[in-house]
Amino acid sequence: MTAETPAGAGSHHLGPPSRACLAEGKGPDVAGTWLLYAGSELVGAGVPAVALLDLVDDLQSRLDQVAGLMFGLVEGYVDTQGGSPAEVEAVLARLRPLMLQAAEGSLATALREASATCTVVSEGMGCRDV
């Protein structure tokens, strides 16, 4: 326990929101709920809250860029010209979960590759460059 890790962190067993809520963007701030859940687990495992908040800021900035790239593809290549706002929203609503799944798959691969470089050493966990 450190000064940055509150007592009892991670002990309340907050559960994640359902995957359907995440894909459809339903519920009260689904992303915030996931961040709170993951954050409580990381802080409970010993990650300082300050470091976690820095990571969240960096991650959100990078995810905003990824979302912009994905919707840039839609704007550049999907024919929405002449469509009503409702028709364009219907296309986006159909594509959003697919883009989320594509991003999730890519992230899963990146996490698997990054974890392959991590080893448990006598002083704790560390990652090595490969």
* pLDDT digits (tens), the chain, 130 positions: 444 444 444 444 555 555 555 555 555 555 677 778 888 998 999 989 999 889 888 988 998 999 898 888 877 777 777 777 788 788 888 888 999 899 999 999 998 888 888 765 444 555 655 4
- What is the Cα 99 distance to its own chain's centre? 13
- What is the Cα 56 distance to its own chain's centre? 9
Q: 3-state DSSP helix/strand/coil percent for the chain, to nearest 5?
A: 60, 5, 30
- What is the Cα 79 distance to its own chain's centre? 29
pTM equals 0.58
Residue 43 near residue 6 (C-beta atoms within 8 A):
yes
